[in-house]
A and B are shown apart, each in its own frame.
Chain A
Amino acid sequence: MKRYIARRLMQGVVLLCAVATIVFFLGRLTGNPVDLMLPEDATAEDRAHLVQTLGLDGTLFDQFAIFVYKALHGDLGTSIRMREPAVDAFFDRLPNTLALIPWAVLLGMILGIPLGVAAAVNRGSLLDRLAGTVAVLGIAIPSFWLGILLIFVFSVELGWLPSGRMGGPAHYVLPVITLGLFLVAGFMRITRSAMLEVMDSEFVKLARIKGLGEGVVIWKHCLRNALIPVLTLWGVFIGNLITGAIVTETVFAWPGIGRLTYEAVIYRDFPLLQAVIILKSILILSINLGVDILYAYVDPRIRLA
């Protein structure tokens, strides 16, 4: 187990280094990075100062060394627009995104898993078809447009729910639905196919022969085993949630890291974008690592492979 964790940790570190290197060299690709790093109204002194602190008069390798050194000391540059350290801006906004994500995940699991089980048990029924439609629609509707549609129906026309910004519980409803719909579809599809596979296996037949009630067979014997593949999808879902948060928070003016990413793009705030991407990579990689360890713990076949 320790060896497995160490190996996964090493892979994560290598990947992170690759991301940081790509981000660094893309920033240098377009000629003068000073133009990307400074606001348009910067003075000649600002420029000279930046050139000096980033070592831009040195070779590309020197510059990269300075970038890595600073990054390791928690300095990923200063946001052009907010004129504050990009790392601080990120951690100021992070709690707001973390306040949104668990609800979306909860929505996905509460609706997706039972729906998937029901669809598998009543295979080919109307319910199964309905679930199939939800799955197909959940993939076909772009989430940013779904958010706008929800705002139009529930805020503009009906006036039931607020259209954006953070606030009381009512403010969470629409963003959570927008962010959670693809999770409902995803959880449902995976649960359904995993359940179908498990329901076909020998130990389930044995449980039925033993005379156990259908409820016990389905919910205890089948679902428990079907949930293992659901768990593996966590890695994929986390990446999707982090990127899904960009459009959702943009649509609902939600002050989280997704909205921060969007602002960095539209204001061409390169230092901020660079910091956001590196920090998000760390976030995604550590969650993935956590999930992998959990998965190896639950299913010993993984860590021995």
Chain B
Amino acid sequence: MALADRPEADPRARLLLRRLLWPARTGTGGRGTARVPWIPIAIISMFVIMALFAPLLAPHSPIDQTLRDKLLPPAWMEGGSDKYLLGTDAFGRDVLSRLIYGARVSLIVALLALTAGGGVGLIVGIIAGYLGGTVDSVLMRLVDAAFTFPAILFALLLAVTVGQGLGTLVIAISLLLWASFARVIRGEVLTLRQRDFVALARVRGCSALRIMLTHILPNVLNTFMVLVTLNIGVVIIAEASLSFLGAGIPPPTPTWGMMISEGRGRLADAWWVALIPGIAITLLVLSVNLFGDWLRDRLDPRLRQL
């Protein structure tokens, strides 16, 4: 093939490739606006599709054991089989199928925990910021307390006393999130409260509830969306860590954290069982964070301190 036919040989194509792989951020070097992070978006979409259509995409059952086929290496390695693209674990379960179903758990937990924890944080932030006074100082004391005490410890405690499960996990991770949401939203509301349109609404006789719902809330939604995106990675890592520690969704439901935990004893003869799910976590969290950075720069650059 002639050299010019290869896309990487064309300087313009190479530049485009580099820009896609390495989206420059606004503000860091005085370069124009941030480029749309297509690669992270593609990776996120891939995981979402995996989670949504898991039963259609998974080549095998994620739970059924085929002991005859245990610890087979990935297809590209010696001894690997086309039947199991990413190999099998110690019980002969297909790693790829478990990975696909594991995406479900990660994304469902992220969705629920961000709705619950983020929602509570949003409400607390608006109330504390708008009402001020005693309500504000009491709520902010609670936020300070939540920051001091690591939520992971509380999650472990819940798993032992109440029992493992989706509900426990979501409550535990929501506790990890709400305080940071409340703090940022409150800061936004404090400045919004000084604005003329809020004063006007008050003069017109709007109730505090009405002002919070129709005048304050729509103005903090951008910030809220940015916070949600920036925290997806936090939730995914927290869920995986708790699963790894035996305090996540109980087996046989496949989760990435548990797959890593099950595989870590067999690094010498079957590294793929523990290492592949970790690559998935890193890839997804990295993509979500890069996407979140871009969204923040687009929607709410003042949050860049986060």
CA distance A142 to B30 in the complex (A): 32
B160–A270 CB distance below 8 A:
yes
List the one stretch of A65-73, A83-91, A132-140, A209-217 in contact with chain B. Answer: A132-140
B161–A27 CB distance below 8 A:
yes
The interface centre, meaning the residue of A22, A145, A156, A285 with most chain B CB atoms within 10 A of its CB, is A145
Within 8 A of A (CB), among B262-287: 264, 267-268, 271, 274-275, 277-278, 281-282, 285-286
A270 / chain B contacts, CB cutoff of 8 Å: 160-161
Residues 20-41 of A, flagged 1 when their CB comes within 8 A of B and 0 if not, give 0011001101100000100000
Q: Main SS of the interface on chain B?
A: helix
Interface residue A111 (Cβ < 8 Å from any Cβ of B): no
Interface residue A151 (Cβ < 8 Å from any Cβ of B): yes
A52 / chain B contacts, CB cutoff of 8 Å: none
- CB < 8 Å: which of A149, A240, A288 contacts B278? A149
B147 CB to closest chain A CB (Å) equals 7
Residue of A with least CB distance to B244: A144
Q: How many residues of A contact B (CB 8 A)?
A: 56
A27 / chain B contacts, CB cutoff of 8 Å: 161
Residue of A with least CB distance to B25: A132
CA distance A268 to B154 in the complex (A): 15
A136-B286, A142-B282, A265-B159 in contact; A148/B152 too (CB < 8 A)? no
CA distance A247 to B150 in the complex (A): 14
Residue of A with least CB distance to B144: A11
B240 / chain A contacts, CB cutoff of 8 Å: 142, 144-145
A123-B28, A151-B267, A265-B247 in contact; A242/B150 too (CB < 8 A)? yes
A148–B278 CB distance below 8 A:
yes
Interface residue B140 (Cβ < 8 Å from any Cβ of A): no
Interface residue B246 (Cβ < 8 Å from any Cβ of A): yes
A247–B286 CB distance below 8 A:
no
A148–B267 CB distance below 8 A:
yes
- CB < 8 Å: which of A140, A156, A240, A251 contacts B285? A140
List the one stretch of A99-107, A220-228, A273-281 in contact with chain B. Answer: A273-281
A26-B157, A149-B278 in contact; A247/B271 too (CB < 8 A)? no
A26-B157, A270-B161 in contact; A235/B148 too (CB < 8 A)? yes
The interface centre, meaning the residue of B28, B150, B163, B281 with most chain A CB atoms within 10 A of its CB, is B150
Residue of A with least CB distance to B305: A193
Residues 122-166 of B, flagged 1 when their CB comes within 8 A of A and 0 if not, give 000000000000000000010011011110111011111111000
A273–B160 CB distance below 8 A:
yes
Residue of B with least CB distance to A241: B150
A274 / chain B contacts, CB cutoff of 8 Å: 157
Interface residue B184 (Cβ < 8 Å from any Cβ of A): no
CA distance A133 to B305 in the complex (A): 17
A142-B278, A250-B245, A265-B245 in contact; A239/B158 too (CB < 8 A)? no
Interface residue B29 (Cβ < 8 Å from any Cβ of A): yes
Interface residue B229 (Cβ < 8 Å from any Cβ of A): no
Interface residue B237 (Cβ < 8 Å from any Cβ of A): yes
Interface residue B295 (Cβ < 8 Å from any Cβ of A): no
A149-B275, A265-B159 in contact; A142/B153 too (CB < 8 A)? no
A239–B150 CB distance below 8 A:
yes
Within 8 A of B (CB), among A215-270: 235-236, 239-240, 242-243, 246-247, 250-251, 261-262, 264-266, 268, 270
A187 CB to closest chain B CB (Å) equals 16
A265–B305 CB distance below 8 A:
no
A94 CB to closest chain B CB (Å) equals 16
B246–A265 CB distance below 8 A:
yes
- CB < 8 Å: which of B156, B163, B282 contacts A273? B156
Interface residue B96 (Cβ < 8 Å from any Cβ of A): no
A123–B29 CB distance below 8 A:
yes
Interface residue B76 (Cβ < 8 Å from any Cβ of A): no
B289–A136 CB distance below 8 A:
yes
Within 8 A of B (CB), among A46-102: none
B245–A246 CB distance below 8 A:
yes
B289–A140 CB distance below 8 A:
yes
Interface residue A19 (Cβ < 8 Å from any Cβ of B): yes
Interface residue A1 (Cβ < 8 Å from any Cβ of B): no
Residue of B with least CB distance to A269: B160
CA distance A144 to B246 in the complex (A): 13
B148 / chain A contacts, CB cutoff of 8 Å: 15, 235, 239, 284-285, 288
B250 CB to closest chain A CB (Å) equals 12
A254 CB to closest chain B CB (Å) equals 14
Q: Give B contacts to A, CB under 8 Å.
A: 22, 25, 28-31, 141, 144-145, 147-150, 152-154, 156-163, 233, 237, 240-241, 244-247, 257, 260, 264, 267-268, 271, 274-275, 277-278, 281-282, 285-286, 289-290, 305
15 contacts between A and B (CB under 8 A): A26-B158, A26-B161, A36-B160, A139-B285, A139-B289, A142-B257, A148-B275, A149-B278, A152-B275, A235-B148, A246-B245, A247-B244, A250-B244, A262-B246, A288-B148
5 new A-B pairs (CB below 8 Å) besides A152-B275, A264-B156, A270-B161? A136-B289, A145-B275, A148-B264, A265-B247, A284-B150
